[in-house]
Amino acid sequence: MKIDLTFSKTSKTACDLAVFVVDKVDEYPADIENIADDKLISKAAKLADFSAKSGESFTFIAPDGSNYGKVLVVGIGNGELDEVNQWLNLGGQICAKIGSAEKVNVFTNSAGEGQSEDLIAHLAAGLTLRAYDFDQYKTVTKKKDADKVRKIKIVDVNHLKIKKSFVEQDAIVQGVILARNMVNEPANTLGPVEFAAEAKALEEFGIKTEILTEKQMSKLGMNALLGVSLGSERPPRLAIMRWDGGKKSEAPIAFVGKGVVFDTGGISIKPAGGMEDMKGDMGGAAAVIGLMKTLAMRKAKTNVVGILGLVENMPDGKAQRPGDIVTSMSGQTIEVINTDAEGRLVLCDALHYCNTRFNPQFMINLATLTGAVLVALGNHHAGLFSNNDELADQISEAGLNTRERVWRLPLDKEYDKMIDSKFADMKNTGGRHAGSITAAQFLQRFVGETPWAHLDVAGTAMGSPKTDINTSWGSGFGVRLLNQLVEQNYE
């Protein structure tokens, strides 16, 4: 649903749907006077057993002579909704009830109990996130009103303060939407080169972007990453994005994303069933590019590096084979047991590059890395692995605050031993057991002493259950989580 969101003090304009956000029964905004018979609303409230608690709502058709078509009354209780997330969800719930209405006025009362400008800005953000859909490829079955732009007006006496508060929320929304778009976009139109161009396009927001070509990566010795790309007609790219919002002298924080635009498995080819989902195997890189956009748009006061490892994993006469041994940029050698364990091969060079070039305060990588994390945690938590308790705690807390939850899993030398190789320094799979952990152990061999965390988002970046603020396959997971981490701890 396309929406045009504005904020205004009063609204005398007619609308198809008026939404009243109320904390008490029978306390409605002044504009209720527009409804010819205001006893009607009390009657409707009674019939709906409405007591203004959160989660309660009712709808009625406004009588003739009213400025409104339909009226939706939504309860928020008395201080029951005190978390920003609940207001995001409330916005999403309201969006879900817009139906065919083209003009919608949402009446809030920032001066009222349990409301505030900031919370209402979150409502507006939740509404916008819920409105997202990826339907540009539907030409036949698309509903006729899908392309209509809905005019949504948030009506509140403190509309200017809400509007100001929304600037930051909008930065988050735009980052999430970018991440969702990237994940939803099919691989025929989004290859490594196209993805890199998206990173370049963010220069518009003050981000500096460098794009490394195959040749440049080859010179740097990134043979683990390049090996994955051998079977693809489309050349790989490494995108390096920088947002410098902090002091010049301050080391940056760094985010690294797995950007496999399509993962066939390579020569260790995947079964056909469900393989189409592997267009989302760049969910980690999508989160990083989305996060960079958010941080730049809200002018975060910190230095940030975002690195995207962009490749396609295809089987071909030139593709790498099981048994091949590659030398990574770090000098460590890797025996490729399974060409479908390609994400770690991409990330190990991206992480080593990031660490040696930028010497960052920390590195967090995001990757749709293992099916095993779905077995362990399903769609509800991302797997978190870290060599640093403080960083891990900060991420976990941001997860609880944003409801983009993570669950920490162990790293230890016994697991590390599982990836020792007969022929090289390590192999790229650790056998059937503890698949997510051995993948993380592999990455840890490339981060040195730098505080580091790995988020395995295979279960959360795509195909996760619908929520109040997301009905899209590509969820944009990680943008809100890491924006919160930065805002709380690194600005």
Positions in 306-345 near Zn ion (CB under 5 A): 343
Catalytic residue among 24, 234, 270, 403: 270
Applying CB under 6 A, which of residues 329, 341, 348, 419 lies at the interface with ligand BES? 341
Structural element, H or E, at residue 339: none
The stretch among 1-9, 94-102, 281-289, 402-410 that binds Zn ion (CB under 5 A) is 281-289
Residues 6+ apart with CB under 8 A from 237: 192, 193, 195, 196, 211, 212, 213, 308, 310
Q: Which residues within the stretch 149-178 sit at the binding site for Mn ion (CB under 5 A)? A: none
Least distance between ligand BES and beta carbon 248 (Å): 38
- Which of 242, 298, 344, 480 is catalytic? The answer is 344
Which range, of 102-110, 119-127, 256-264, 328-336, touches Mn ion by CB under 5 A?
A: 256-264
**Contact between 267 and ligand BES per CB under 6 A:** no
Q: Does position 342 bind ligand BES by CB under 6 A?
A: yes
**Does the footprint of Mn ion cover residue 263 (CB under 5 A)?**
yes
Shortest reach from residue 373's CB to ligand BES, in Å: 8
Where does this chain touch Mn ion (CB under 5 A) — which range of 15-23, 167-175, 335-343, 470-478?
335-343
* Binding partner of 165, given Zn ion, Mn ion, ligand BES, none, CB within 5-8 angstroms per partner class: none
**Residue 109 interacts with which of Mn ion, ligand BES, Zn ion, none, CB < 5 to 8 Å by class:** none
456 interacts with Mn ion by CB under 5 A: no
Nearer to Mn ion (CB atom), residue 340 or residue 416: 340
Q: Does 309 contact ligand BES by CB under 6 A? A: no
Measure CA of the first residue to CA of the last residue in the chain; give whole Å. 35
Q: Are 327 and 218 in contact (CB under 8 A)?
A: no
DSSP letter at 293?
A: H
263 binds Zn ion (CB under 5 A): yes
Which of 128, 131, 125 shows the shortest CA–CA distance to 87?
125
Residue 412, class by beta-carbon neighbours within 10 Å (0-12 exposed, 13-18 middle, 19+ buried)? exposed
Cα–Cα separations (whole angstroms), residue 481 to 14, 158, 379, 396? 39, 29, 15, 9
338 binds ligand BES (CB under 6 A): yes
The answer to whether 312 contacts Mn ion (rule: CB under 5 A) is no
Asked if 128 contacts 171 with a C-beta cutoff of 8 angstroms, the reply is: no
DSSP letters of 234-285?
A: SPPEEEEEEEE-S-TTSPPEEEEEEEEEEE--TTSPPPSTTGGGGGGTTHHH
Q: Is 344 a catalytic residue?
A: yes
Please report, as residue ranges, which positions from 451 to 490 form the binding site for ligand BES (by CB under 6 A).
458
Per-residue burial over 428-443, b if 16 or more Cβ lie within 10 Å, else e, is bbbeeebbbbbbbbbb
| Integer Cα distance of 447 and 408 in angstroms | 18
For the record, the structure tokens of 41 come out as: 């609303």
Residue 443 CB, shortest distance to Mn ion, in Å, is: 15
DSSP 8-state code for residue 462: B
Give residues in contact with Zn ion (CB under 5 A).
260, 263, 281, 343
Which residues form the catalytic set? Answer: 270, 344
